Chains A and B, each alone.
Chain A
């Protein structure tokens, strides 16, 4: 039962069958030791999330990664449901079990970087659209790592996608390596 993963990737793509990128990224990341990938649309197609299980996975992880493709300037709906159900404020906020863990977002979008500028098609930088996630993570006492953005997803060819998947995998390995030693989080015993 005890899995030994250190990173939990919460992965959501409602259209995996026609996604050019998500599958490759998911596969690449899954092969990293110490990473557990939760493919939400595969696990919870009826949008009924097993919150108990998700929380226990979260508790075992030191790094939480959100992997998704932008859907109308936000995350896919099931991922939002996941955040709502799993991050119940009374469980997650303040000195809750998420405190001290790290949070990272790997997001892909179809537009180019130039579109995400003041005056551009989308008006503001992409990271602005990630503000709710960032603030939620901070509110739970998590350490926010600079998000990784992949632009022009719909025009990437197979080669570019492979390169992207490999890059993400490396970045993730680096983030995991930089995590504080496990006991530093577990131990402590701040008292109640």
Chain B
């Protein structure tokens, strides 16, 4: 059956929109929801979609984008510092799981070539499932998350020689066409990527940012990822690995958060598409032919892989409570297994039937992951938690939270520099690229972006920030931002600069408790200097200014309940003049009274 692109898109979106919220509501998690949606619309469900492979291929971009975004969060130095973890953990995992599975299969009477290929393929885990889950649960900073991430990264690298190795074990004499020329090409592309990424991409991003056209910025971000991925696949390397490298290259750039924000929705949808495609690829024909054998294989595979992972975690000294979660997270077979088995079938290393059985086992194991995690959350975790509560909880480390400054113009700069001088970690957001360049020259971390966008704030780590300073120029933007932050991050304290008194009151309406009128203190200082100039004497001038300041702050709060009425008056010029007159009168009387009071 032929489908137009739009019809297919409609079916996918409808399936996702129905299945995912349903799965969430049932507490099954989004990944399982997508998988079920895929089964429902696939050849063995309602049969709405047929060309599964094309879609699986296309949706790989979800994984690619996921790795790009993860790359963005890893600066090169941090990646370098992870190298031991990547090769240590990665080699141990791939080697350990492969060995155990291979021996088990060989003992079951399968030829060693088939056993080895199957074991190699099955040792790889699903980057999409494991990383998405770790991100959802904010596990990446934990030891289990770090280990998991290192392993997944290693697997992406290891998949390349595996795919090259499979034909060698096969019956067909398919020679790997890579050879020395291929390796040279790959090396060339990576070096090119490093150079271009460093010297070309950032200037281009800057030029595009300066046009202030968001959609072009987004388009360029997508273009960047897609072209890097295609380039990598052209030289026979993993697209995801290429995207990851591109992300790392841009990790310390000022556009990091903006890129992340723009690609996030694409990443999410394409990953969803990927899971749907996996769901569709489950061949129930093969399954129904020998259900018990396949279920047995899947179960045996899961038990062996989880067991090896658990033992590895123990050998590497991971904390007891994290071992199980870690083993569950990486227990499933991965996307690359499909590729490896496909290549093996093509090279006639094993039969089509073996390949489809193994693919089915991988798909089932992918579906099992969300269930294992539910089991962990509902059964294991509460039990351990119950035990832990009896112990005295560890003291929480002093917070390492940063302060976000939205708007780094003349006001935000002074705030930022004061905080910086006192070693307060800062994240600054500004939408003027020229500005950002200058500041970065001086070693400040400034990110490009429209601070009023809540998703950008999320990417900038608003969740873990200690405070937000709103120092943007536009009154409307300032209020919009304050309102959105109150709604999305109610626990984040907001300190805002007010352009004028009405702005001040409007911020107070939004529950912003710390508001500074941007010109008040400096004008006060100026008044004090005038008094000095008039011969008041430095100390007396200071006292006069401070007295006025105290009185003014009090009055401003007293008038607050009526400001909306007042605003209406002030809109008329004559009334405004009267208001000013009244203010002068009030100041004079109050200051006089204060002074008399103090003297007697």
Contact = CB atoms under 8 A, between A and B. Distances in A.
Interface in B573-600: 594, 597-600
A78 to B, nearest CB: 14
A69 B43 CA distance: 82
A91 to B, nearest CB: 6
A48 B543 contact: yes
A88 interface: yes
A119 B336 CA distance: 86
B414 interface: no
A48 B542 CA distance: 9
A55 to B, nearest CB: 8
A85 B599 contact: no
B597 A46 contact: no
Nearest to B554: A50
B546 interface: yes
A48 B387 CA distance: 54
Interface string A39-72: 0000000101011100000000000000000000
Contacts of B597: 51-52
Contact of A48 (B547, B599, B600): B547
User: Most A CB atoms within 10 A — which of B550, B594, B598?
Assistant: B598
Interface in B409-428: none
Given A48-B543, A52-B594, A88 B550 contact: no
Contacts of A90: 599-600
Contacts of B546: 46, 48
Nearest to A55: B597
B598 A88 contact: yes
Contacts of A46: 546
A188 B131 CA distance: 80
A48 B550 contact: yes
> Interface extent on A, as a size class?
under 10
Main secondary structure of the interface of A (DSSP, over half): helix
Interface string A16-52: 0000000000000000000000000000001010111
Contacts of A50: 550
A50 B594 CA distance: 9
Interface in B477-499: none
A51 B543 CA distance: 12
Interface string A80-105: 00000100101100000000000000
A91 B600 contact: yes
A135 B543 CA distance: 28
Nearest to A50: B550
A9 to B, nearest CB: 23
Nearest to B542: A48
Contacts of A91: 600
Contacts of B547: 48
Interface string B409-450: 000000000000000000000000000000000000000000
Contacts of A88: 598-600
Contacts of B599: 88, 90
A51 B598 contact: yes
Contacts of A51: 597-598
B331 to A, nearest CB: 48
B600 A85 contact: no
Interface in B521-578: 543, 546-547, 549-550
B589 to A, nearest CB: 14
B550 A85 contact: no
B14 to A, nearest CB: 59
Nearest to A90: B600
A139 B370 CA distance: 80
B106 to A, nearest CB: 64
Contacts of B550: 48, 50
Contacts of B598: 51-52, 85, 88
B542 to A, nearest CB: 8
Contacts of B594: 52
A15 to B, nearest CB: 16
Interface in B388-404: none
A50 B550 CA distance: 8
A46 B542 CA distance: 11
A52 B594 CA distance: 8
Nearest to A52: B597
A50 B598 CA distance: 9
Nearest to A86: B598
A52 B595 CA distance: 10
Contacts of B600: 88, 90-91
A158 B79 CA distance: 43
B527 to A, nearest CB: 15
Contacts of B543: 48
A19 B96 CA distance: 56
A100 to B, nearest CB: 20
Nearest to B594: A52
A46 B550 CA distance: 11
A90 B597 CA distance: 11
A85 B550 CA distance: 16
A91 B600 CA distance: 5
B549 to A, nearest CB: 8
B491 to A, nearest CB: 24
A52 B551 CA distance: 12
Nearest to B543: A48
A84 to B, nearest CB: 11
A46 B545 CA distance: 12
12 contacts: A48-B549, A48-B550, A51-B597, A51-B598, A52-B594, A52-B597, A52-B598, A88-B598, A88-B599, A88-B600, A90-B600, A91-B600
Given A48-B547, A51-B598, A52-B594, 16 more contacts: A46-B546, A48-B543, A48-B546, A48-B549, A48-B550, A50-B550, A51-B597, A52-B597, A52-B598, A85-B598, A88-B598, A88-B599, A88-B600, A90-B599, A90-B600, A91-B600
**Closest CB pairs A-B (n = 7):** A48-B546, A51-B598, A52-B597, A90-B600, A91-B600, A46-B546, A50-B550
